[in-house]
Structure formats: structure tokens, C-alpha cells
């Protein structure tokens, strides 16, 4: 399949939101799944996975990417101009809402927010019976991608809580600070009957999984996606 870039917006330092159109009538996927993008670089086919950051909507899909300095594919994607095309496969993957849903904690760092943007926007309007918390960790306040969207969702849905946390807060920041790991005990409390979804780089995902396991969580309740 081919994806054509329709528009892009820089939404944080070295982070870009892309809107693509697939060359099919309908891109069927479950919120949380990813696509693979391929390009031939120096005669070698390079494939990388990217979580879809939007809900299913015709043949349109959105991505949230950070440019990895010295990376192979991500700098190429940042060079793309509106109208440029790239080969894609998918949707793929199993990082989707469990059925039936339970009260859930979503833990993201950096562009690990991408599948949660899709999952939360897709699921929240259909489910008023469960409590959902998004714990989102970044370095600086300016890196809180989609902040307004999540704040708006939290103000419209009493069953959704948005908890951003900064590892390098500025003097004006009144919210939480520190790594996501430091907020787990407070957000989870005594509950062991909730699902915890984790997405981001391996070091964070492994740390959170370890904390959950030693806190007595059933591994079936820990759902994760590692980016590296």
C-alpha cells in the first residue's frame, strides 16, 4: 500500500504530527495498532513501525513521530513534503483495548502517547462505566503533545483523568513532576483489578512492568508496546 502525506504540524521539539492518506477506500484498524513504513536507503529496505495516533476514519491516519538524530528512517520522514508518498504495511499489532474493558491506567512517555490518543478518543465516548487515567511523562512542558485535547476530554468526561508529569519542570509549572514511575503507587493505590497499558521506550516500559509485578499485578493486566 502507498501512503500520501496530506499535512504535518510540528507539535513539540523534534516531534511532528503527520496526516496521511492510504491508497485504499477504508483503512480498517483498531485504535492502538501501528503501521509499518518502508523506504529504500542506500539500496537497503528500511522498515519502521509507527503507532496510529488517530481513530479509524476512512483512509486517513495520523502519526506522531520524533526525529531520531542519526536515525535511519525518521529523518527521512521529517524531510517529506505534502504530496510525497511512502510505502506502508498494516495495520498491525495487538496493543488495543482489552474486551471487556476494565478501569485502566495508560502510561506513556514521549511519542508513546500516540496509540493512547487513538485509544482514548475512540473508546471514551463509548464507555461511561469505567475510569480511565492517562499518566503522560515528558521532559519539558512544551513537550506535552496533545495537551489541550486531553484537558478538554478530561473536562467533558468525568471518568477520564489526565495526569501529565515533567522531569524538567519550569518555575511556573504547578502540576506533577518526576518520572512516570514515581506516580504509580499514588494513582493505582490498592487496586489490582485494573488494566495497565504502557507505551514508550524499553527502559521505562520495563521499569513500570517490574513495579507492577512486584506490587502483585497479574501479568494479564499489563499490556505494553516498546518502541526500541
Ligand X SMILES: Cc1cc2nc3c(=O)[nH]c(=O)nc-3n(C[C@H](O)[C@H](O)[C@H](O)COP(=O)(O)OP(=O)(O)OC[C@H]3O[C@@H](n4cnc5c(N)ncnc54)[C@H](O)[C@@H]3O)c2cc1C
Binding site residues, ligand X, CB under 6 A: 34, 48-51, 63-66, 68, 71-74, 93, 111, 114, 225, 227-228
Instruction: Indicate the residue among 12 and 114 with the shorter CB distance to ligand X.
Output: 114
- Shortest approach of ligand X to residue 14 CB, angstroms? 9
Instruction: Indicate the residue among 116 and 217 with the shorter CB distance to ligand X.
Output: 116
- Shortest approach of ligand X to residue 110 CB, angstroms? 6
Instruction: Indicate the residue among 108 and 196 with the shorter CB distance to ligand X.
Output: 108
- Shortest approach of ligand X to residue 114 CB, angstroms? 4
The closest residue (CB) to ligand X is: 71
| Chain centre distance of CA 177 | 20
Instruction: Indicate the residue among 194 and 224 with the shorter CB distance to ligand X.
Output: 224
- Shortest approach of ligand X to residue 94 CB, angstroms? 10
Chain position carrying cell 506522531: 64
121-128 contacts, C-beta under 8 A, 24 or more apart: 121/31, 121/54, 121/55, 121/149, 121/153, 122/31, 122/55, 122/56, 123/31, 123/97, 124/153, 124/157, 124/159, 124/160, 127/101, 127/159, 128/157, 128/159
Whole-number Cα distances in Å, 17 to 13, 20, 184? 12, 10, 28
Instruction: Indicate the residue among 91 and 164 with the shorter CB distance to ligand X.
Output: 91
Task: Give 124's contacts (C-beta < 8 A, 6+ positions apart).
Answer: 132, 153, 157, 159, 160
- Shortest approach of ligand X to residue 148 CB, angstroms? 20
Amino acid at each position: 500500500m502507498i501512503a500520501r502525506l496530506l499535512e504535518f504540524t510540528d507539535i513539540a521539539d523534534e516531534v511532528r504530527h503527520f496526516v496521511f492518506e492510504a491508497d485504499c477506500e477504508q483503512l480498517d484498524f483498531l485504535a492502538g495498532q501501528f503501521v509499518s513504513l518502508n523506504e529504500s536507503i542506500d539500496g537497503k529496505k528500511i522498515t519502521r513501525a509507527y503507532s496510529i495516533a488517530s481513530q479509524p476514519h476512512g483512509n486517513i491516519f495520523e502519526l506522531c513521530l520524533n526525529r531520531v538524530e542519526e536515525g535511519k528512517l525518521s529523518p527521512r520522514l521529517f524531510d517529506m513534503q505534502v504530496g510525497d508518498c511512502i510505502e506502508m504495511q498494516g495495520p498491525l499489532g495487538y496493543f488495543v483495548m482489552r474486551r471487556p474493558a476494565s478501569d485502566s491506567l495508560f502510561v506513556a512517555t514521549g511519542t508513546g502517547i500516540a496509540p493512547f490518543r487513538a485509544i482514548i478518543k475512540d473508546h471514551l465516548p463509548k464507555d461511561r462505566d469505567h475510569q480511565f487515567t492517562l499518566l503522560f511523562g515528558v521532559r519539558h512542558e512544551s513537550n506535552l503533545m496533545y495537551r489541550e485535547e486531553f484537558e478538554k476530554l478530561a473536562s467533558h468526561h468525568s471518568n477520564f483523568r489526565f495526569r501529565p508529569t515533567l522531569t524538567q519542570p519550569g518555575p511556573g509549572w504547578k502540576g506533577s513532576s518526576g518520572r512516570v514511575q514515581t506516580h504509580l503507587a499514588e494513582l493505582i493505590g490498592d487496586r489490582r483489578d485494573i488494566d495497565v497499558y504502557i507505551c514508550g521506550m524499553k527502559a521505562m516500559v520495563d521499569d513500570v512492568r517490574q513495579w507492577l509485578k512486584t506490587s502483585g499485578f497479574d501479568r494479564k493486566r499489563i499490556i505494553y508496546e516498546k518502541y526500541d
